[in-house]
């Protein structure tokens, strides 16, 4: 009887289920459209119009990309412009934080009390980046900062200076400081990844007499590739969005001569510092950042959310990224 | 079948209980609607039930905290005693307000009823229709000629000048100078010798002059060099944008005075200006270029030990930068009349006399006598005598110029040989 009653009610319950899904779905879609889709569309729209509201085509893009704040290769000395600075940041920060995190994860694997050490390293990750930026300012103070004072004691007097007062030391100091703040992320993700590799593989390698390096190269590294993909993607996204650490450690102008200026800071200045406001130029930078972010995030989402992509696509997207990053 | 079964002799077992799906769904919709209704209802109720804005006191936003705030509060208290209008003072950095206020204004709101802000911001707010006109509230005749020019659009006045700070030059400790037999310099050559002697007297390199960070401190130093060795006219022309920073006359001021001095190695790298007060007072540095507010800084425990000298003058070049604290009343103030009443009061002689009594400030209102100042401020006020008073260059021009100017000057401090690049970049933003 119950079964028959169930059959009778099934069509109604299916409708009710659809209704229920819609009831849950519609508010989310409404909020998504209101708070994400509309602002993004409005930003892209704004980037193609002049301040007076007239269609400007790609003029704003041309103006921003030809702005010396964006790319400045007129001199061999810093600054080089925000786009180049972001690229420098990526080229140094990404490999350093990735491999330091991997090294720590592997080293601390069998160490007693590793959890405490990992927690201490991970503290940098949970510290707000604004606070991190301010800490860096103190670390680089020539009188009380541990970095210049320490280097002075080691006899490196050329670096026993106020790091935030000179273009090169400012940019590279911030990059190194951010490695300290971000390494905890890659270490934790790699630590989790290492535990997923079956122990049998390592035991077999041991029996076969493989060296540690060979074991790492042939077993650990290949099996950690999905983890590496996640770390690389998340780090790249973070590097593109860099803002708080720079504004806290330097200033809204990107520090001395703009040596630590980055894209997000440039966008902030266009939109919220300069008078009159340059919303259209800010929208251009925001659009460029969104585009770059989507290209990178798209690869990860395709891989993680949609499963392994078809071979051809994999060749273009994930494979391209891997080749680019040599992973 | 299909019903909860009691197998434990009393309470129902969770594994045996099979809920009726239809019934659960039937309950879920009203619950969702109820929760949604509660959220919406609470929001609407909160909005409707907000106390009327008039019940809250007028909000005054100013950049001062600590000892500077303590010197300002008695003025506001005097206003409340005189008029019966209550107030609430909140500290707000002008750099932050420059970001936040335009967002407020776009929503026809304001987080303050009377706000102290840079003159360039006030002028722009007036032009954009966000600032109330203070014409008739603040009178130009109560100030020195031209004092309100930076906050005027045509004949309309959008701001008032409160007391101000002068950037007189290099501060030193009398006790330190006496101990080493130093004297304030009277010529450019003596200035160079003094820096060298101070650097010798204090252990470690680059200790003669403390350069403050952020960039506005470097801007003040640079303006002092321009006003002294380029003259008031050059300073005014650079402010107005009628003279190029790359002009030979401007370049000469940098190349002949500021750059050689920086290259002498007696200036520190830019350091946090707030910790600088303590470092200067502890004699880690001999000289500190700072505004007149240094006299009321907490780190300066005995302001009578402070002395100040300007750069030795070049013939005929007599100018000194004086930065009044400007205020305005946003159009969206919820206490418009009260705020205008306060504006009128702040521009008056009694308010400014009360302020200068606490030190660190000079009056802009006419009629305030030099005898009303504390001793150290009277000395600063005397430095103004016979000199042309100049507006703060970067405050008047505002962003994006200020940001570029500051960051380029930091670049010059880092590497004085980049002078021409620095001047070109400043000119590009001027």
Which of B22, B284, B398 lies at the smallest CB-CB distance from A275? B398
B 152-191 residues with CB < 8 A to A:
none
pLDDT of residue B13: 46
Instruction: Using the structure block, give the residue that is written with the tokens 């002395």.
Output: B307
Task: Decide if pLDDT at A95 tops 90.
Answer: yes
To the nearest whole Å, the CA of B379 is away from the closest chain A CA by: 33
Range with the poorest average pLDDT among A14-23, A227-236, A293-302, B368-377: A293-302
The CATH architecture assigned to A62-308 reads Orthogonal Bundle (1.10)
Task: State the pLDDT at residue A304.
Answer: 62
Q: What is the pLDDT of residue B7?
A: 39
Helix (H, G, I), strand (E, B) or coil at B179: helix
Q: Report pLDDT digits (tens) over A57-72.
A: 999 999 999 999 999 9
ipTM of the modeled complex: 0.76
A309 close to B (CB below 8 A): no
Contacts of A248 in chain B (CB under 8 A): none
> B394 in contact with A at a CB cutoff of 8 Å?
no
Least reliable range by pLDDT among A20-24, A253-257, B44-48, B294-298: B44-48
- Residue B16's pLDDT band (cuts 50, 70, 90): low
- The predicted pLDDT at position A130 comes to 92
The pLDDT value given to residue A298: 80
* A272 interfacial to chain B (CB closer than 8 Å): yes
Residue of chain B minimizing CA distance to A72: B425
Is pLDDT at A9 greater than 80 in this prediction?
A: no
Chain A CA closest to residue B29: A20
Higher pLDDT, B320 or A10: B320
Closest CA to A75 of A296, A293, A259, A249: A259
Record the pTM: 0.79
Per-residue pLDDT, averaged over B143-162, amounts to: 90
B331 and B130 Cβ atoms separated by less than 8 Å: yes
CA-to-CA dists, residue B41 to A149, B33, B46, B47, B49, angstroms: 60, 12, 8, 10, 11
Q: What pLDDT does residue A272 have?
A: 87
Mean pLDDT of the residues in chain A: 87
CB under 8 A, 24+ apart: contacts of A138-144:
A139/A177, A140/A164, A140/A169, A140/A173, A140/A177, A140/A249, A141/B271, A141/B272, A142/B269, A142/B271, A143/B271, A143/B279, A143/B284
B26-56 tens-digit pLDDT: 677 777 888 888 888 887 777 776 655 556 8
Pairwise pLDDT comparison (B13 vs B124), residue with the higher score: B124
Q: So what's the pLDDT on residue B305?
A: 94
Taking 90 as the threshold, does the pLDDT of residue B18 lie above it? Answer: no
Across the interface, whether the CB atoms of B403 and A275 are under 8 A apart is answered no
Q: Mean pLDDT across the stretch B253-268?
A: 96
- What distance in Å separates residue B215's CA from the closest CA in chain A? 9
Residue B5 has pLDDT above 80, yes or no: no
pLDDT digits (tens, 9 = 90+) for B103-139: 999 999 999 999 999 999 999 999 999 999 999 999 9
Q: Which of residues 275-334 of B touch A (CB under 8 A)?
A: 279, 284
Asked if pLDDT for residue A288 goes beyond 60, the answer is yes
Enumerate the residues of chain A whose CB falls inside 8 A of the CB of residue B423.
Answer: none
Q: Does A305 touch chain B (CB under 8 A)?
A: no
Judged against a pLDDT cut of 50, whether residue A247 lies above it is answered with yes
A181 vs A125: CA distance, rounded Å:
5
For residue A253, give the chain B residue with the closest CA: B403
Residues 64-123 of B with CB under 8 A from A: 95, 98-99, 102, 120-121
Give pLDDT, residue A310. 53
B121/A275 CB distance under 8 A: yes
Inter-chain contacts counted by CB atoms under 8 A, chains A and B: 101
The most confident of the ranges A281-285, A309-313, B62-66 is: A281-285
A68 touches chain B (CB under 8 A): yes
Determine the distance in angstroms separating the CA of A184 from the nearest CA of chain B, rounded to an integer.
30
Lowest mean pLDDT of A144-153, B60-69, B142-151, B250-259, name the range: B142-151
Looking at residues A137-141, what average pLDDT do you find? 93
Contact A275 B407 (CB under 8 A): no
pLDDT at B32: 80
CA–CA distance, A214 with A205 (Å, rounded to integer): 9
Task: Give Cα separations from A164 to A54, A153, B410, B425 (angstroms).
Answer: 42, 19, 10, 20
Please tell me the predicted confidence (pLDDT) of residue B95: 85
Instruction: Compute the nearest-CA separation of A137 from chain B (Å).
Output: 10
Q: Which residues pair with B164 in a beta bridge?
A: B324, B362
The answer to whether the CB atoms of A257 and B410 lie below 8 A apart is yes
User: CB neighbours of B41 closer than 8 A, spacing ≥ 6?
Assistant: none
In A, minimum Cα distance to B410 occurs at A256
> What is the model's pLDDT at position B346?
96
Question: Quick one: average pLDDT of B315-328?
Answer: 83
Q: What average pLDDT does the segment A276-301 reach?
A: 88
Q: What is the pLDDT of residue B3?
A: 41
Q: How confident is the model at residue B317 (pLDDT cuts 50, 70, 90)?
A: low
* pLDDT tens per residue, range B51-87: 555 568 999 999 999 888 999 999 999 999 999 999 9
Top residue of A141, A275, A277 to mutate, by most chain B CBs within 10 Å, is A275
**Vertex B402 angle, CA A252 and B423, to 5°:** 110
pLDDT at A31 over 70: yes
Measured between beta carbons, which residues in chain A are less than 8 angstroms from residue B214? 251
Q: Does A143 touch chain B (CB under 8 A)?
A: yes
Mark yes or no for CB contact B270/A272 under 8 Å. no
**What's residue A307's pLDDT?**
57
The string of pLDDT tens digits covering residues A181-221 is 999 999 999 999 999 999 999 999 999 999 999 999 999 99
Min Cα distance A43 → chain B (Å) is 16
Q: For every residue of A62-85, which 3-state class applies, written as one string? A: HHHHCCCCCCCCCCCCCCCCHHHH
Whole-number average pLDDT of chain B: 89
């Amino acid at each position: 009887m119950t079964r028959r009653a169930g059959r009778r009610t099934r069509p109604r319950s299916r409708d009710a289920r659809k209704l229920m899904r819609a009831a849950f779905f519609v508010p989310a879609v409404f909020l998504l459209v209101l708070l994400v889709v509309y602002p993004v569309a409005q930003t892209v729209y704004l980037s193609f119009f002049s301040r007076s509201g007239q269609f400007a085509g790609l003029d704003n893009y041309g103006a921003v990309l030809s702005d010396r704040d964006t790319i400045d290769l007129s001199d061999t000395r810093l600054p080089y412009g925000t786009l180049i600075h972001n690229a420098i940041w990526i080229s140094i920060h990404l490999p350093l934080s990735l491999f330091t995190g991997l090294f720590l994860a592997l080293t601390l694997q069998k160490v007693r009390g590793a959890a405490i050490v990992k927690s201490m390293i991970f503290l940098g990750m949970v510290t707000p980046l604004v606070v991190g930026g301010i800490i860096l300012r103190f670390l680089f103070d020539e009188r009380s900062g541990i970095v210049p004072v320490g280097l002075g004691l080691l006899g490196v007097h050329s670096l026993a200076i106020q790091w935030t007062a000179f273009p090169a030391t400012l940019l590279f100091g911030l990059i190194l400081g951010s490695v300290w703040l971000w390494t905890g992320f890659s270490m934790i993700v790699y630590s989790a990844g290492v535990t997923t590799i079956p122990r049998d593989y390592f035991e077999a390698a041991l029996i076969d007499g493989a060296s540690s390096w060979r074991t790492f190269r042939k077993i650990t590294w290949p099996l950690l590739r999905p983890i590496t993909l996640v770390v690389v993607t998340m780090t790249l996204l973070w590097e593109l969005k860099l803002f708080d650490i720079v504004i806290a450690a330097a200033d809204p102008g990107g520090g001395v001569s703009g040596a630590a200026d980055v894209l997000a800071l440039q966008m902030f200045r266009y939109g919220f510092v300069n008078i009159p406001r340059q919303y259209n130029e800010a929208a251009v930078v925001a659009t460029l950042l969104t585009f770059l972010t989507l290209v990178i995030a798209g690869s990860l989402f395709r891989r993680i959310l949609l499963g392994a992509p078809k071979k051809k696509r994999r060749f273009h997207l994930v494979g391209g990224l891997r080749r680019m990053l040599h992973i | 079948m299909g019903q909860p079964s009691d197998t434990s002799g009393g309470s129902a077992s969770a594994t045996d209980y099979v809920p009726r799906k239809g019934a659960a769904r039937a309950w879920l919709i009203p619950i969702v609607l109820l929760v949604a209704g509660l959220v919406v209802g609470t929001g609407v109720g909160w909005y409707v039930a907000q106390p009327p804005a008039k019940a809250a006191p007028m909000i005054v936003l100013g950049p001062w905290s600590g000892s500077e705030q303590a010197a300002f509060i008695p003025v506001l208290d005097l206003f409340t005693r005189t008029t019966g209008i209550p107030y609430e003072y909140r500290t707000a950095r002008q750099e932050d307000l420059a970001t936040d206020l335009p967002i407020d204004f776009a929503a026809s709101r304001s987080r303050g009823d009377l706000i102290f802000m840079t003159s360039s911001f006030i002028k722009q707010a007036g032009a954009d229709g966000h600032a109330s006109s203070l014409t008739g509230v603040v009178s130009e005749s109560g100030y020195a000629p031209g004092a309100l020019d930076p906050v005027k659009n045509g004949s309309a006045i959008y701001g008032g000048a409160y007391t101000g700070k002068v950037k007189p030059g290099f501060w030193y400790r009398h006790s330190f100078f006496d101990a080493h037999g130093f004297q304030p310099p009277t010529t450019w050559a003596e200035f160079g010798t003094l820096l060298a002697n101070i650097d010798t007297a204090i252990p470690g390199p680059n200790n003669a002059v403390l350069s403050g960070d952020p960039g506005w401190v470097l801007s003040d130093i640079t303006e002092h060099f321009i006003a002294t060795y380029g003259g008031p006219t050059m300073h005014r022309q650079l402010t107005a944008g009628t003279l190029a920073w790359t002009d030979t006359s401007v370049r000469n001021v940098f190349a002949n005075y500021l750059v050689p001095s920086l290259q002498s190695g007696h200036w520190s790298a830019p350091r946090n200006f707030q910790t600088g007060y303590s470092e200067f007072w502890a004699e880690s540095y001999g000289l500190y270029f700072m505004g007149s507010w240094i006299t009321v800084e907490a780190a300066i425990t005995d302001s009578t030990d402070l002395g100040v000298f300007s750069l030795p003058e070049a013939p005929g070049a007599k100018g000194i930068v004086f930065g009044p604290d400007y205020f305005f009343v946003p159009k969206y103030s919820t206490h418009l009349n009260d705020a205008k009443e306060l504006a009128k009061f702040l521009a008056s002689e009694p308010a400014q006399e009360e302020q200068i009594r606490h030190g660190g400030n000079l009056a802009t209102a006419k009629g305030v006598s030099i005898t009303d100042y504390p001793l150290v401020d009277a000395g600063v006020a005397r430095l103004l005598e016979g000199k042309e008073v100049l507006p703060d260059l970067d405050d008047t021009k505002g962003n994006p110029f200020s940001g570029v100017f500051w960051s380029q000057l930091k670049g010059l401090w880092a590497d004085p040989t980049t002078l021409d690049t620095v001047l070109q970049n400043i000119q590009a933003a001027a």
